[in-house]
Structures are given as structure tokens and as C-alpha cells.
Amino acid sequence: MLARAIAVWLALMLVAILNGFLREALLIPWLGERAAHVASTLILCSLILFVAWLSIRWIRPRSHGEAWTVGLTWLLLTLAFEFLAGHYVFGYPWQRLLADYDLSRGRIWPLVLVASFAAPALAVRIRGRSE
């Protein structure tokens, strides 16, 4: 199950990278920096939920507890990628990486972390009711 969860997370990283390109190329010129980051964050949260809904049967958690484990795995992988790759691969200073967590400045990036954590359990709940 965890290998499949990690495979889906890798697909989510591609989705997140494409979302970032969309933000830089289209949303920022159209909406401005702050509104584009909000829109991009909400788009990414929606995509995470959609990918979880599509993939949860393939991941095959056997319980809600295992679905939460998938979510925790996605959350930890996302944080590790964001901070480790962001700092050591892309060379961003820690201050820049932490700036996305400043809710007082309208940065709502933590919603992506919430979506990553909760999406598998929500998908299990929704799929369980509808199918």
C-alpha cells in the first residue's frame, strides 16, 4: 500500500509543478502575485482531492486508519520535498521557504498540507458511500 501511495504522491508532485508553471505563466500576469498564489493554492488543493479520489482504490488502504497513514505519508513527503529540495537543490533561503506559511500576509500554502493529509481519508469516505 505505501509503495502505491508514494507512486501517487510522485504524480501529485508533477501536478504541483505544473500548477506552479500555470501560476507563473498565466495567473500572476492576470491576477497579480498575491491573488495568483491564493488561486494556485486552491487549485492545487482541488487537484490533490481529485487525484486522491481517482487513485484511492488503486492504493487500497484497508481501513480509514490506513487512509490516514497514506495522508500522513503524503504530508511528510511534501514537507521533506519542499524544504530539502527547496533549500539544497533549488538554493532557496529558509526565510523564503517559510514565507509561504505566513497567514498574516495572505499566504495560504498550509491548506495544501491539510489537503495532502486529509485527501486519502476523504476519498475513502466518499468512495465508500458512492460505490
pLDDT in tens, 56-86: 999 999 999 999 999 999 999 999 999 999 8
Whether residue 130 is predicted with pLDDT greater than 90 in this model: the reply is: no
What is the pLDDT, as a whole number, of residue 100? 84
The rounded distance, in Å, linking the Cα atoms of 46 and 91 is 29
Could you list the residue range(s) of the whole structural domain that residue 36 is in? Answer: 2-130
Rounded Cα–Cα distance for residues 114 and 131 (Å): 25
Query: In the structure, what pLDDT confidence band is assigned to residue 127 with cuts at 50, 70 and 90?
Result: confident
Q: Output the pLDDT for position 58.
A: 96
Which residue's entry shows cell 484497508? 62
What is the distance of C-alpha 27 from the center of its chain? 18
Q: Which residues contact 129 (CB under 8 A, 6 or more apart)?
A: none
Residue identified by cell 486529509 is 118
Residues 75-124: tens digit of each pLDDT: 999 999 999 998 999 899 999 899 888 888 888 999 999 999 999 999 99
Within 1-131, residue ranges assigned H as helices are 2-22, 28-31, 33-59, 64-80, 94-99, 110-130
What total number of domains does the chain contain?
A: 1
What the block records as the C-alpha cell of 94 is 529558509
